[in-house]
Structure 1
Amino acid sequence: MDKINLKDLTLEELQDYIINLGEPKFRALQIYKWIYSGVRNFEEMTNISKTLRDKLKSNTTIGNLAINKKFISTLDGTRRYLIQLSDNNYIESVLMKYKHGYSICISSQVGCAMGCKFCASTKNGKIRNLSAGEIIDQIITVERDVGERISNVVMMGVGEPLDNFDNIVKFIKNVNNPNGLNIGQRHITISTCGIVERIYELADLNFQITLAISLHATNDETRNDIMPVNKKYNILKLLEACKYYVNKTGRRITFEYTLINKKNDYTQNAEELSNLLKGILCHVNLIPVNSVYGTGFVPGSERNIREFQNILEKNGIPATVRREMGSDISAACGQLRSQI
């Protein structure tokens, strides 16, 4: 029988489990605090009886991840991690340092089924979902490596988060728990290519996270070509869901728009994007495309990128150009994993 990963459990689920072991409920909170303090084995849980530690060792695991490879940028200190899972699959996490603290980009799946043409994560398809424990353990593993607290989490790594919905919801609850990592919901960003029914479900949960929508096109023809998900959830359906999300949560949405030279970066596209987003509480994050091997996509000139941004802002749409970090270590998610 497979052992239970304790990081896969919410505090309430852990309490039920501990009671079923014949132990008092308060032990669950002690254990919960230990696993999120970064302990790697049960012997470190010094205020837990040996009897209970033995029960836990027999039936559960703390679910530690292993760093297989690590690269540190000489340009800005960005750290790129290839992380090995217990079944010998691999995911990637990227740590970035800003003036306000550390931010980590984490993965939600092993591979991805969405098939976006400009993304390295989807090259070999989806192998499986990550559990809630494997998702949160990326943060714990990297915090242990750098010896610093991580204050911001961005789920834009390998995988489509809303295709792993239940584990993402459990992850948000655990990462936000004051007895766990205690990272505020407003410091968590979840990115999706646009699985519409899940956006509605997420809105109804009324989390105060930031939702980032990978839009990347201003018409269905272009989006169908570069993002197959659009054939099921077209731009109109997606934006209707986004409006519902804003009205339900009061949270501003970030629209991610990857600029691909002579594909979606014309001034006409900037005008079309302005019209699409008019009236939606939002911000646009412009991303010069990564030159991923085999895609044929390249970024446009700095001048064209800035012109695109200026048109959006002239039309009342706040827009920024994403700062490229870790360019000397191919920090864009999926590029390292695809090499192995």
Structure 2
Amino acid sequence: MSPMPEPTHLPLVLTPPRGRAKPPRHLADLTLAERLEEATRLGLPGFRARQLSVHYFDRLVDDPEQMTDLPLAQRAELVTGFLPELMTPLRTLEADRGTTRKTLWRLFDGALVESVLMRYPDRATMCVSSQAGCGMACPFCATGQGGLQRNMSTAEIVEQVVAGARALARGEVPGGPGRVSNVVFMGMGEPLANYHAVVGAVRRLTSPAPDGLGMSARGVTVSTVGLVPRIRQLAAEGLPVTLALSLHAPDDELRNELVPINTRYSVAETVEAAWDYARTTKRRVSIEYAMMRGINDQAHRADLLADVLGSVGDPAPWGWVHVNLIPLNEVRGSKFTRSSDEDMDTFQRRLLERGISTTMRDTRGSDIDAACGQLAATEG
């Protein structure tokens, strides 16, 4: 038999350690109505908050000198009060002829997080972090090995996207000026363990300018390792975002080892919650499956995955689920390695033969430590 991963006995931390200072409150933490209220509380005309919102979300301005509609005598105070600096770029690495850019950020308290901008011919995608570190303890993931430091604020999440939007708008990425069309919550952290900040960020990203960036909710993907109560809560939010379930194994015995939260919510419970999400939102769920040599890539597991996904029902004629096979982005020193091309092809073919929509993910940025947590680990 192929070697199984060692059991993981790390605690499943679902909340960050207490006692940490909170990030400074930022305009992006607030709805437009709350910004107007804050301006009034500070003795300022409410329209000043709207002006700042236009600069941040619509014009993508980060230089106070360009905010010429603000009175010079109050400009510094307004910018400091509503647009405090949230994160500082430490390193930016490029791949794919500059169209993939990974940035390592230092937050106000020294925590390190990462974001990745990936430009394609027809779209530009931002992969963002939602936590500094992660408490899910998946043994094949670089982020999971460092544990959870803290949740990120709504504004810290949004700022990653705004930074990418600025780079595109200013023509800093090959291909000429552009805009962010897609956001995936697949960077560092478990998004649904930081539920309220993540939902706040999604609302800010999708609200029309100047309340937010004005993106389509259908261009936003929120991933989870399977926090079942939060999946059900997200389904009731009225946000038609795509849910991506990081399954990685079709059976409880193996998934307990690869994704320890499975000891709380079984494969059957997790897949049923995902199916309910698709039925409620009318949005097809993406099943993320990292291909690991000799661990989860056997042909019989492809058949078992098809059985599991086919056992819950089909809420729409177009099918409720799509499987996204991911060649493992290997972590230095880890025993988990990428499956062979032959085994991945066989796995995909078995799913397709069972009528399961399946694709192999494009592997971008492997030469710049693009797997979440790798760059932070080398810096930290």
Q: Above 0.5 in TM-score?
A: yes
| Partner Cα separation in structure 2 for residue 21 and residue 189 of structure 1 | 37
Q: 1:51 to 1:20 in 2, by over 3 A?
A: farther
Q: 1:330 to 1:314 in 2, by over 3 A?
A: same
**Does the Cα contact within 8 Å between 1:3 and 1:60 map onto a contact in 2?**
no
Instruction: Show the counterpart of 1:28.
Output: 49
SS of structure 2 residue aligned to 1:94:
strand
| Partner Cα separation in structure 2 for residue 164 and residue 303 of structure 1 | 38
| Partner Cα separation in structure 1 for residue 40 and residue 73 of structure 2 | 14
| Partner Cα separation in structure 2 for residue 73 and residue 155 of structure 1 | 21
| Partner Cα separation in structure 1 for residue 129 and residue 334 of structure 2 | 22
**Does the Cα contact within 8 Å between 1:76 and 1:325 map onto a contact in 2?**
no
Comparing 132-141 with 291-300, greater Cα deviation is found at 291-300
TM (norm. structure 1) is 0.94
Return the letter of the residue paired with 1:166. H
TM (norm. structure 2) is 0.84
CA drift of 1:21 comes to 2.5
Return the letter of the residue paired with 1:126. L
Would you say 1:66 and 2:88 are equivalent positions? yes
Give me the identity figure in percent.
39
Instruction: Show the counterpart of 2:174.
Output: none
1:120-269 matches, within 5 Å, as 120-146=142-168, 147=170, 148-179=178-209, 180-269=212-301
| Partner Cα separation in structure 1 for residue 105 and residue 218 of structure 2 | 26
Gaps of 5+ in 2: 1-21, 171-177, 315-319
Instruction: Show the counterpart of 2:8.
Output: none
CA drift of 1:295 comes to 2.5
For residues 180-234 of structure 1, what are the alpha-carbon distances to aligned partners after superposition, in whole Å with 9 as ceiling and x for unaligned? 3211100111111011111011000121111100000011110001111111111
Would you say 1:104 and 2:134 are equivalent positions? no
SS of structure 1 residue aligned to 2:234:
helix
Would you say 1:83 and 2:113 are equivalent positions? no
Comparing 22-31 with 290-299, greater Cα deviation is found at 22-31
Match of 2:348 among 288, 309, 329: 309
| Partner Cα separation in structure 1 for residue 33 and residue 91 of structure 2 | 35
**Does the Cα contact within 8 Å between 2:24 and 2:84 map onto a contact in 1?**
no
CA drift of 1:54 comes to 5.3
**Does the Cα contact within 8 Å between 1:75 and 1:326 map onto a contact in 2?**
no
RMSD of the TM alignment (CA)?
1.9
| Partner Cα separation in structure 2 for residue 285 and residue 330 of structure 1 | 20
Q: 1:2 to 1:59 in 2, by over 3 A?
A: farther
Comparing 307-316 with 141-150, greater Cα deviation is found at 141-150
**Does the Cα contact within 8 Å between 1:84 and 1:90 map onto a contact in 2?**
yes
**Does the Cα contact within 8 Å between 2:23 and 2:86 map onto a contact in 1?**
no
**Does the Cα contact within 8 Å between 1:76 and 1:326 map onto a contact in 2?**
no
SS of structure 1 residue aligned to 2:236:
helix
Comparing 224-233 with 9-18, greater Cα deviation is found at 9-18
CA drift of 1:13 comes to 1.7
| Partner Cα separation in structure 2 for residue 60 and residue 27 of structure 1 | 10
